[in-house]
Structure 1
Amino acid sequence: MVPWNRFVEGDNLDVLRHLVAQGEHVDLIYIDPPYNTGNDFAYRDDIRGDAVRTRHEAWVEMMRPRLEAARDLLAPGGALFASIDDHEAAYLRLLLDEVFGEECFLAQIVVNLNPKGRQLGPGFATSHEYLLVFARDPRACVLEASSTEAVDPADFPQRDEEGRAFRHLPLRNTNKKFNPATTPTLHYPLYGDAASGRVATEPFADAVEIWPVFGDGRPAVWRWSAALAAERPDDLVCRRIRGRLGDRVDVYQRDWLHPGRRKKLSTIWMAEEVGSTDTAVAELKAIVGHVFESPKPTGLIRRILATMPDDARVLDFFAGSGTTGHAVALANLADGGTRRCLSVDRAEPTRPGSNAHAAGLLTVADITRARLRAVAEQLGGGFEEWRLPGS
């Protein structure tokens, strides 16, 4: 059995280049790179040149080769998610536009990781970070920007005689870009009886002819073709409504709540949906102790995982506390998936006097390793550690 979690200790640039040279591919990359907040830089690449570089320029030069290798590792249908805050968000967006191509940009998501806001220091109480999302090839990308968890059953208040939940949606296309001039085949009459609710594409007794119109009476179009309306008349209902110009009859679709239904994700993810820094600390504390200052919550990564197939090959080359590998195990347990995750981190020393150092976790790689081992012991899925050839 291929383990759900593998870990390699080493410089992520060396690991990435090795994987590229071996012809490896992954479907999903999540990274939470250092945010360049003023502390000493952990990644000191041998960058040639005589010019004095700003911290932003040094950070970008550190990230560039790693993102170039990451792009080459992604399968054609793959996508990259990168967490970042305001220190480098603008620079990372421009860098990703350059490395992947502007046309590969999918979203910039606001993530509410600190609902109360940071109270220390001057200025605003920052309560968010960002997720930048890029596709390897937007035409081939298999990412589905929707989730079953985003569906609210309360949005489906109606019940049929069998107890199935549904809601009424106007069959008329409410977008005025779609009208008889732009989509003439969708401008056709239906026939309905508001007393019985029956709708058909052909006249019947007690039916009235119904044309799609906007609220101001101008001609509109339906969202369904005539063929689809003829095929699914039981999913349509005629209702009498009070419009801007008085009473009229209109056609509505019965939109059903069914198992596995998905809803498009918004670009604002709230802490109550994906977790917060506080819940992330509690998760880590429960499995290995309070040994990392600002881990990401597994709920955030699980939402990301849910946008990709359940057999996705996942890579996190700034693995930190090991949240991504933990989330992969939780997701596999929840839906029976076969996701596999490779986590990469270096032996960056933990701070003397810190909880991690006191617990014998002398490097960040030790923290990653300890968490992924604990995940395998408590949740299953296996754990494997490997080293670069020659290391």
Structure 2
Amino acid sequence: MGGPWNLFVEGDNLDVLPQVPGLLGGPVDLVYIDPPYNTGNDFAYRDAFPGHEAWVAMMRPRLVAAREVLAETGAIFVSIDDHEVAHLRLLMDEVYGEDQFLAQVVVNLNPKGRQLGKGFATSHEYLLVYARDARRTVLDASSHETVDPADFPLESPDGRRFRHLPLRNTNKKFNPVTARTLHFTVWGDPETGRVATAPFAGAVEIGPVFGDGTPAVWRWSRPLIEQRPDDLVCRRVKGRRGERVDVFQKDWLHPVTTDGDPGVRRKKLRTIWLAEEVGSTDTAVAELKDVVGHVFESPKPTGLVRRILGTMPADAVVLDFFAGSGTTGHAVVLQNLADGGTRRCLSINSAEPTRVGSNAHAAGLLTVADITRARLRAVADTVGGGFEELARRRRPSPSR
């Protein structure tokens, strides 16, 4: 899909959301939003939401509308803090369904902790992650950035790094009763390392067993072992019951793909994201300051959004309907440039006035939409990706 990577609509998100498929030519693959947190001091919003019920009433129709424009294979990420996380979790269960819940991620955005006020020094927020349809979603909760080469200490003659993993399945739920076809013996020579499914000279017979000597099963089937014997090695090991011979898989840092090229290793994402991995509020303020100035009090770091983007295909259509300072659009450009992706992002923000006396107001950014627009234009001018502002589409007036 061609065109600029960043699109922007000024308007009330509840008005604009039903028009999103028409604006983009289809549904969106990924929604990320950072809604107002109902703390009473969100600088850009004149009215905090007195009481949880009013906040939930504001969010419910917007989440419903977002679900309607989300592809069946898509997912939504919502940032939130302690004030509303419990209510948002219940609301997301109601709108998207409990079965569509994927994760509640803790994000360490303030490593030093907030020192103002009484109580604990809060250093985290949350990300609630839901699928439109968990059975069909293309979300991949893994990343190549979380792979540590030091976890692969061995090296093959051609310079490829690997580690040894037991071929035996270490999960006792898988055993000769529950996985009968994976309980069989193989032959291996601990002197040469060779492994085969049939006897050969110098080999000993090896059956899968747990450390306590009870029967186990292999992780690979017999045909897979015959197909990939070079990725297995036979070794002597010392266990609780003395020395024994066992079989290990060579787990490669860069596994070779079917076309012969080295693949990209990915590792499952944990549900705690550290500031050193995704950035902090301080780094987010610095990023925004470099582009348009210090005009937003609590922006999100682009690293956080880039990690979210990395869970979806590189051609994903992204939607942020609480666009704030424009972090999502900025992150889309950075991620596209980093991995050659063709993501597009639609940002929606209202003309809510900025507070008189705030840095934004002093800089001539009189509405929150002005901040979003200024950042996305600056990113297009300095980094690339293009920018287009779309005319606001209003809901048709009801017939009288």
Normalising by structure 1, report the TM-score: 0.95
What is the rounded CA distance, in whole Å, between the counterparts of 2:136 and 2:122 in structure 1?
Answer: 36
Aligned to 1:335: 339
| Structure 2 counterpart of 1:5, one-letter code | N
Q: Call closer, same or farther: CA 1:318–1:390 in 2, change over 3 Å.
A: closer
Asked if the contact 2:292/2:378 (under 8 Å) is kept, the reply is yes
SS of 1:253 mapped into structure 2 = strand
How far did 1:195 drift? 1.0
What is the rounded CA distance, in whole Å, between the counterparts of 2:97 and 2:391 in structure 1?
Answer: 32
Asked if the contact 2:21/2:28 (under 8 Å) is kept, the reply is no
SS of 1:248 mapped into structure 2 = strand
What is the rounded CA distance, in whole Å, between the counterparts of 2:268 and 2:347 in structure 1?
Answer: 29
Q: Call closer, same or farther: CA 1:208–1:153 in 2, change over 3 Å.
A: same
Matched pairs, number: 384
Give runs of aligned pairs for residues 276-355 of structure 1, distance below 5 A. Answer: 276-355=280-359
What is the rounded CA distance, in whole Å, between the counterparts of 1:382 and 1:54 in structure 2?
Answer: 39
Are 2:75 and 1:79 equivalent residues in the alignment? yes
Give runs of aligned pairs for residues 86-165 of structure 1, distance below 5 A. Answer: 86-165=82-161
Asked if the contact 1:180/1:187 (under 8 Å) is kept, the reply is yes
Give the stretch that moved more between structures: 31-40 or 135-144: 31-40
Asked if the contact 1:4/1:341 (under 8 Å) is kept, the reply is yes
- Among 246, 254, 268, the alignment partner of 1:264 is 268
How far did 1:39 drift? 3.9
| Structure 2 counterpart of 1:134, one-letter code | Y
SS of 1:80 mapped into structure 2 = strand
What is the rounded CA distance, in whole Å, between the counterparts of 1:12 and 1:43 in structure 2?
Answer: 17
What is the rounded CA distance, in whole Å, between the counterparts of 1:118 and 1:191 in structure 2?
Answer: 60
1:346-374 C-alpha deviation (Å, 9 max, x unpaired): 11111111111111111111000000000
What is the rounded CA distance, in whole Å, between the counterparts of 1:354 and 1:333 in structure 2?
Answer: 33
How far did 1:31 drift? 0.2
Asked if the contact 1:8/1:387 (under 8 Å) is kept, the reply is yes
Aligned to 1:32: 34
1:295-343 C-alpha deviation (Å, 9 max, x unpaired): 0000000000000000000000000000000000001111111100000
What is the rounded CA distance, in whole Å, between the counterparts of 1:225 and 1:17 in structure 2?
Answer: 50
How far did 1:19 drift? 2.6
Asked if the contact 2:16/2:393 (under 8 Å) is kept, the reply is no
Aligned to 1:48: none
Q: Call closer, same or farther: CA 1:383–1:245 in 2, change over 3 Å.
A: same
| Structure 2 counterpart of 1:282, one-letter code | A
Asked if the contact 1:168/1:254 (under 8 Å) is kept, the reply is yes
Normalising by structure 2, report the TM-score: 0.93
| Structure 2 counterpart of 1:149, one-letter code | E
| Structure 1 counterpart of 2:341, one-letter code | G
SS of 1:204 mapped into structure 2 = coil
1:207-258 C-alpha deviation (Å, 9 max, x unpaired): 1100000010000000000110011111000110110111101000000111
The list of structure 1 runs, each at least 4 consecutive aligned residues, that deviate by more than 3 angstroms after superposition, is 20-24, 39-44
How far did 1:20 drift? 5.7
Are 2:378 and 1:374 equivalent residues in the alignment? yes
Aligned to 1:49: none
Asked if the contact 1:43/1:62 (under 8 Å) is kept, the reply is no
What is the rounded CA distance, in whole Å, between the counterparts of 2:231 and 2:390 in structure 1?
Answer: 56
What is the rounded CA distance, in whole Å, between the counterparts of 1:157 and 1:342 in structure 2?
Answer: 44
How far did 1:388 drift? 2.2
How far did 1:18 drift? 2.6
Unaligned regions of 5+ residues in structure 2, if any?
A: 255-262, 396-400
How far did 1:17 drift? 2.2
How far did 1:43 drift? 8.6
SS of 2:289 mapped into structure 1 = helix
SS of 1:215 mapped into structure 2 = coil
Aligned to 1:17: 18
SS of 2:135 mapped into structure 1 = coil
What is the rounded CA distance, in whole Å, between the counterparts of 1:296 and 1:240 in structure 2?
Answer: 51
- Among 179, 186, 189, the alignment partner of 2:182 is 186
Are 2:229 and 1:233 equivalent residues in the alignment? yes
Asked if the contact 2:107/2:126 (under 8 Å) is kept, the reply is yes
| Structure 2 counterpart of 1:331, one-letter code | Q
Asked if the contact 1:112/1:270 (under 8 Å) is kept, the reply is yes
Unaligned regions of 5+ residues in structure 1, if any?
A: 45-52
| Structure 1 counterpart of 2:285, one-letter code | V
Q: Call closer, same or farther: CA 1:34–1:245 in 2, change over 3 Å.
A: same
Percentage identity across paired residues of the two chains: 74
Aligned to 1:67: 63
What is the rounded CA distance, in whole Å, between the counterparts of 2:125 and 2:10 in structure 1?
Answer: 27
Are 2:192 and 1:199 equivalent residues in the alignment? no
Are 2:54 and 1:58 equivalent residues in the alignment? yes
SS of 2:29 mapped into structure 1 = strand
How far did 1:387 drift? 1.8
Asked if the contact 2:16/2:394 (under 8 Å) is kept, the reply is no
Q: Call closer, same or farther: CA 1:221–1:270 in 2, change over 3 Å.
A: same
How far did 1:79 drift? 0.2
